[in-house]
Structures are given as structure tokens and as C-alpha cells.
Amino acid sequence: MTETFLERKIARCFDLLDRNSDGDLSRDDCVALARAAADASGFAAESEDAWRVRDGYVRLWEVLLAPMDADGDGRVSRSEYVAAVAGLSDDPDGYADSLGVAVDAFVEAGDADRDGRLSQPEFLTLYRATFPSLGQEEILEAFGHLDRDGDGHITRQELSDSIREYLLSDDVNAPGNWFLGRVGG
């Protein structure tokens, strides 16, 4: 069976979130992502900012990812993740609450100056630390697509719209397809 464009995007998301590349998502992956993001943003290891980032990613695990664990083993396999996220397109409004957790985690992690949005340098720093397989040029190109109003910042709303499009839309021209870099159509 051939993967659809949407399934390829979802699988790519899984692969990038699987920080230790063991084929499963776990709470430990989320903690590792948080640590890398907090370090990249210059937050001291035990600072309030670092704990806020960690708490955001743990909440991402608890609210969004852990419920995808269909077999109850405490880990989300690639097939569980793809099936669960693909199923969200049947109820996009129900997914909106969980999506906010992902948006908050990313903004908390990358917003070094605490202005509630991500500048291009903050976005670059966050993405280089969180998704090391993405190159700088690809990250900067992604920023250009996600900064929908072209003001040099990605707001929570722009990020929310982008994640929603990335995970729920099969429109190959949607700007949100750039949420995790270049995706082939």
C-alpha cells in the first residue's frame, strides 16, 4: 500500500520526534527534546525557564502523545502514531485543544526573549537543537513559509495554523507543510 502525502508528513513528524531513534516515542524522548531546546535557548539547566520548557514537553507527552499508545506499553510506535494522527483529521475540532499543548511547548522552548513569539534566530536555534537532521537553509526556508504575515516572527497563532495544516491537511500547497522542513508532494 502506498503512503499518502498526509501519511508521509505524519511519519516524518514521528521520525523527527523519536529523539533516540529507537522506533518508539516515549516520555524520555519528550524530556530529551526539552533538554536540547532549553540548552539551545541558553536556559541554565535548573532555571525556571528550563523547567518551564521541560514541563511543556512532558505535558505534550501526557496530553497528546501518551493517549496514542493503543497497546498500553508506555510507548507510542510509529504505526500507532501514524494511525492516531491520521484519525485526528476525522475530528479536527477535538484535536484543537491538544494542539495548543504542542504550540505552547514549542514557543516556551524557543522564545528566549520571552515576547510570546519566535524570531527567525530563535526559530533557527530551536530547530537546530530539536531537529538536528534539518539543515540551516531548510530551517530558514521553513521560517519564511510559517511566518505568514512576513513580520519576522512566528506567533502562537501562526504556529498553531502550521501544525494543524501539517498534521491534518492533504493540501500539498499549504504553508504548514513546512513545519518540519521540506516535504515532497
pLDDT by residue (tens digit) across 154-183? Answer: 999 999 999 888 888 889 999 999 999 988
Q: What percent of the chain has pLDDT over 90?
A: 55
What are the DSSP calls for 143-161, one per residue? Answer: HHHH-TT-SSEE-HHHHHH
* The pLDDT value given to residue 70: 93
Q: Flag the least confident range among 65-69, 74-78, 87-91, 117-121.
A: 87-91
Taking only the tens place, the pLDDT of each residue in 20-54 is: 899 999 999 999 999 998 998 889 989 999 999 89
Alpha-carbon distance of 66 to 76, in angstroms, equals 7
| Confidence class for position 184, pLDDT limits 50, 70, 90 | low
- The residue segments making up the domain with residue 157 are 5-170
Could you tell me the CATH number of the domain that includes residue 96? 1.10.238.10
- Looking at the 3D structure of the chain, how many domains does it have? 1
| Residue at 181 is within a domain | no
| Residue carrying C-alpha cell 516515549 | 26
Contact 111, 118 (CB under 8 A): yes
Taking only the tens place, the pLDDT of each residue in 79-127 is: 999 888 877 767 766 666 677 888 888 888 889 899 999 999 999 999 9
- Rounded (10°) angle between helices 120-130 and 136-146: 130
Contact 9, 184 (CB under 8 A): no
Among left, alpha and beta (phi > 0; psi -120 to 50; other), residue 5 is: alpha
Distances (CA, A) of 145 to 95, 136, 148, 152, 176: 23, 14, 6, 11, 7
* The pLDDT value given to residue 74: 94
Query: Residue 11, class by beta-carbon neighbours within 10 Å (0-12 exposed, 13-18 middle, 19+ buried)?
Result: middle
| Residue at 175 is within a domain | no
Taking only the tens place, the pLDDT of each residue in 131-151 is: 888 999 999 999 999 999 999
